[in-house]
Amino acid sequence: MPAESLASYLRELDAGDLRSAVHYEGDDFETVYQREDLSEEYTETEFEEIAKNFVLKGFDDPLEQPEFARFGHLDATVRWFHEVVVVQIPLDEWSGVIVAFDRESIEDTGTLVDALLEYVEENFAEHGDAVEDPDELAGEFD
């Protein structure tokens, strides 16, 4: 069964108004979804700079954190800003998924994070490796 696209999954989930979704591997990242009105709010360069900074934050919060090993690996980091909530899910040491929502649209953060984690588990084997052909997965983010 082919995996559905991340952006479609999140919109169907209806857990919040999706602003953007980014998939990163190392320094490379791909914007897999950007809500139309954001192109009016940010230039392409500004949006890419914000995405790049979140990718760098992801490197600060790796999947495995020895100082917290007794808790298991890190599933997600949620950053609450005044107007935006950003959820970052590390797939491995150098890759992950970052999604942003309008803050006032989120009613249940736990449900949202659990649904994101479920998507990652169903669509990624052993964090960072796509279950399906990697080329097929990359195409889903278009």
User: What confidence score (pLDDT) does residue 76 get?
Assistant: 94
Split the chain (142 residues) into runs of 10 and give each run's mean pLDDT: 59 85 90 90 94 91 88 93 95 90 92 89 59 39 38
| Domain architecture of the chain: domains with CATH | 6-140 (3.30.450.30)
On whether the pTM is more than 0.85, the answer is no
User: What confidence score (pLDDT) does residue 47 get?
Assistant: 94
User: What confidence score (pLDDT) does residue 129 get?
Assistant: 41
User: What confidence score (pLDDT) does residue 93 get?
Assistant: 86
User: What confidence score (pLDDT) does residue 135 get?
Assistant: 42
| One-character DSSP codes across the chain | -PPPPHHHHHHHHTSS-EEEEEEEETTEEEEEEE-TTHHHHS-HHHHHHHHHHHHHHHHHS-S--GGGGGG-S---EEEE-SSEEEEEEEEETTEEEEEEEEGGG-S-HHHHHHHHHHHHHHHEETTTEESS-HHHHHHHT-
User: What confidence score (pLDDT) does residue 125 get?
Assistant: 56
